[in-house]
């Protein structure tokens, strides 16, 4: 009789357990004076984690970015603490580095002393500004990234050692304070990154990795490609197009490199890229172009809010769908402008894919590019609501 009651109780609990939302929704937020969006506009109820981008490295320590000559970061940090007080489930992380801020990583990872100094500064930064963890965005160890980066072959091992030192320092601080601090990293999307890192060891250190499964093509490319195709499209093959430059291939590389699926968060772009004077064949897809097309904050780069609001099936542009790659694109035959981006339909395929693969959730770059929360609503609805 007792066993039967336990069985009935378990049977009743299973549906409730199945309804729980185990997925992470990780948003990067980049403050921008050009966009009508501030930290106060963040809807914390649609996120599990918020990565504030970026803190910088100065004299071997983490410091707030004051490159604009203002104390914007300090004001934002106060706003984020307010968000957390109203939404206690939200966790905030300070993201360090990024494309333009990774120059010093090789130096701070070089010696036990430099690693300790950096880790100590990380804990002090969290205490001072009220963050729950650190996100390391080293773009990239050994090779790649901005041309001004310092890079060494030993970065491969030192990347692991830097993260291990951070983990130990964060855990020690957490033990003293009867809490836990998070440690995550943004990781690359190509073979070179996985060859230049020890991701099985790194994954054991991190709480999770945010894979940057976007920027497979961009306005730096000679031909018009897709920013974040889910799958390769064999029909669009050309000698200078890598068939592994897509989301699913990157996920397979990450898993093969030793990252457990449960520690892999899938990146999604809330922006697109544009090219001009592209060939008309295949509505511009993988055709040679004549440089960057129209842009918003940056030439050749467009926020989703601007793409959706001004270009989709208007102003000479027609929306098309690549059913092999599972992504939309726009083409204007009069100007030869091609725009690659993600929308609700393509995110639907990516969310189903991450669920099928047992991944930890979704990450996106970045909140203010989706000012009307069209894409954010899609991600939150599919991953957070039972």
Question: Can you spell out the DSSP letters for 339-366?
Answer: EE---HHHHHHHHHHHHHTT--EEEEE-
CATH class of residue range 20-269+343-383 = alpha beta
Using alpha carbons, select from 225, 229, 368 the residue that is nearest to residue 285.
225
* Domain ranges for the chain: 20-269+343-383
Q: Is 139 among the residues known to form the active site?
A: yes
Other Cβ atoms less than 10 A from the Cβ of 153: the count is 11
The per-residue pLDDT for range 158-188, each reduced to its tens digit, is: 999 999 999 999 999 999 999 999 999 999 9
The whole-angstrom distance between residue 15's C-alpha and the CA centroid of its chain comes to 32
* 21: confidence class by pLDDT, cuts 50, 70, 90: low
Instruction: Please check the confidence at residue 120 and state whether its pLDDT lies above 50.
Output: yes
Cα separation, 369 vs 307, in Å, equals 10
3-state secondary structure 250-303: HHHHHHHCCCCHHHEEEEEECEEEEECCCCCHHHHCCCECCCECCCCCCCCEEE
- Terminal alpha carbon distance of the chain: 33
Beta bridge partners of 303: 271
Q: Which of 313, 386, 298 is nearest to 343 (CA)?
A: 313
**CB neighbours of residue 147 within 10 Å:** 5
Query: What would the pLDDT profile of 208-260 be if each residue is shown by its tens digit?
Result: 999 999 999 998 999 999 999 999 999 888 888 899 999 999 999 999 999 99
Mean pLDDT, range 136-164, rounded to an integer: 98
For residue 13, the model assigns a pLDDT of 43
Give me the pLDDT at residue 72, please.
80
Q: Please, are residues 295 and 360 in contact by the beta-carbon 8 Å criterion?
A: no
pLDDT at 71: 78
Model confidence at 68, pLDDT cuts 50, 70, 90, reads low
pLDDT for res 79: 96
Query: What percentage of the chain has pLDDT greater than the value 70?
Result: 94
The tally of CA atoms less than 13 A away on the side-chain side of residue 173 is: 19
Q: What DSSP string describes 197-216?
A: S-HHHHHHHSSEEEE----S
Residue with tokens 């790194």, as numbered in its chain:
202
Task: Find the mean pLDDT for residues 21-30.
Answer: 92
User: pTM score, two decimals?
Assistant: 0.93
Which of 139, 198, 301, 337 is catalytic? The answer is 139
């Amino acid at each position: 009789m007792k066993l039967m009651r336990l069985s009935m109780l378990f049977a009743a609990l299973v549906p409730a357990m199945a309804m729980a939302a185990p997925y992470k929704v990780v948003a990067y937020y980049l403050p921008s004076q050009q966009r009508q969006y501030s930290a106060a506009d963040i809807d914390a109820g649609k996120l599990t984690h918020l990565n504030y981008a970026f803190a910088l490295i100065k004299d071997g320590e983490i410091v707030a970015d004051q490159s604009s000559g203002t104390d914007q970061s300090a004001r934002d940090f106060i706003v984020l603490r307010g968000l957390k007080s109203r939404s206690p489930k939200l966790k905030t992380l300070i993201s360090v580095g990024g494309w333009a801020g990774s120059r010093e990583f090789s130096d701070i990872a070089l010696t036990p002393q430099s690693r300790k100094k950096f880790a100590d500064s990380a804990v002090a930064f969290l205490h001072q500004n009220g963050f729950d963890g650190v996100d390391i965005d080293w773009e990239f160890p050994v090779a790649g990234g901005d041309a001004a980066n310092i890079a060494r072959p030993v970065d491969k091992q030192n990347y692991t050692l830097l993260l291990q030192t951070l983990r130990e320092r964060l855990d020690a601080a957490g033990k003293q304070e009867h809490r836990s601090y998070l440690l995550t990293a943004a990781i690359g999307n190509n073979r070179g990154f996985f060859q230049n890192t020890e991701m099985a060891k790194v994954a054991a250190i991190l709480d999770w990795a945010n894979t940057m499964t976007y920027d497979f093509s961009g306005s730096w490319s000679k031909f018009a490609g897709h920013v974040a195709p889910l799958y390769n499209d064999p029909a669009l093959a050309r000698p200078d197009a890598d068939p592994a430059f897509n989301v699913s291939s990157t996920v397979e590389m990450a898993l093969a490199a030793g990252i457990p699926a449960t520690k892999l968060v899938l990146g999604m772009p809330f922006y697109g890229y544009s090219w001009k004077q592209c060939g008309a064949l295949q509505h511009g897809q993988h055709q040679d172009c004549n440089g960057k097309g129209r842009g918003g904050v940056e030439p050749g780069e467009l926020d989703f809010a601007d793409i959706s609001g001004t270009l989709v099936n208007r102003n000479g542009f027609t929306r098309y769908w690549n059913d092999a790659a599972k992504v939309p694109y726009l083409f204007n035959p009069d100007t030869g402008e091609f725009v690659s981006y993600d929308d609700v339909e393509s995110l639907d395929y990516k969310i189903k894919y991450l669920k099928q693969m047992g991944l930890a959730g979704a990450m996106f770059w970045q909140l203010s590019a989706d000012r009307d929360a069209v894409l954010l609503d899609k991600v939150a609805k599919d991953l957070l609501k039972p």
